[in-house]
A and B are shown apart, each in its own frame.
Chain A
Amino acid sequence: ETGVTQTPRHLVMGMTNKKSLKCEQHLGHNAMYWYKQSAKKPLELMFVYSLEERVENNSVPSRFSPECPNSSHLFLHLHTLQPEDSALYLCASSQGQGYDTQYFGPGTRLTVL
């Protein structure tokens, strides 16, 4: 248990669906991250939020839309996804935005049909 929770743990959706992934951290951290982990590829950073402001967006398609309503919660809204978006989506948090020790949630396994 790292203090970072993610829901749902598994999600199957069609290409026309809209769904949201939720992440919550109980560590009092100031920065939160979304990562995508696909088979046989390195972990890809998608978004970074520091003190609820987006500070990084790594050329992620607009069908992924992040939201950070407060420093403890992070959402990833999904719409019109493609089958190649199937992956493990990991949320992480850290004390500061300096990319020191990151605490990861268990991930959401997403399958797009």
Chain B
Amino acid sequence: SQQGEEDPQALSIQEGENATMNCSYKTSINNLQWYRQNSGRGLVHLILIRSNEREKHSGRLRVTLDTSKKSSSLLITASRAADTASYFCASNTGKLIFGQGTTLQVKP
């Protein structure tokens, strides 16, 4: 498997529900970043969590990092239709390696 793999590949939920996306990586990291991409647009940085941090919050976003399992999760609480997008994790190993992303659809 590749560095920075997301799971699931696709997720469909109702507005108001929570969405959880997971990311696994293979080698030691300096930090791990989450990005969002609306269809056909550029990526927007959401949150960065450093290797010595375990949890970070930003608004409705909560990111966790477990370096022992080489995994991270992104939780979006109280989802909105506007959260519909693709979400990518990127592991910083001295290079930034992106996963293939999770496509999230939030139905109104």
Contacts and interface: CB of A to CB of B under 8 A. Distances in A.
The residue among A6, A43, A45, A103 with the most chain B CB atoms within 10 A of its own CB is A43
Given A88-B40, A107-B40, A99 B96 contact: yes
B78 interface: no
Interface in A87-108: 88, 90, 92, 98-107
B40 A42 contact: no
A2 B42 contact: yes
Interface string B82-108: 000000101010111111110000000
Interface SS, A side: loop
Nearest to A109: B40
Contacts of A102: 33, 43, 45, 96
A99 B94 contact: yes
Interface residues on A, range: 20 to 34
Interface SS, B side: strand
A98 B58 CA distance: 23
Nearest to B2: A42
Contacts of B2: 42
A42 B96 contact: no
Interface string A41-54: 11101000000000
A99 to B, nearest CB: 4
A48 to B, nearest CB: 9
3 A-B pairs closest in CB distance: A104-B42, A43-B98, A99-B96
10 contacts: A41-B100, A42-B2, A92-B42, A98-B30, A99-B30, A99-B92, A99-B96, A104-B43, A106-B42, A107-B42
Interface of B: 2, 4, 30-31, 33, 35, 40-45, 48, 88, 90, 92, 94-101
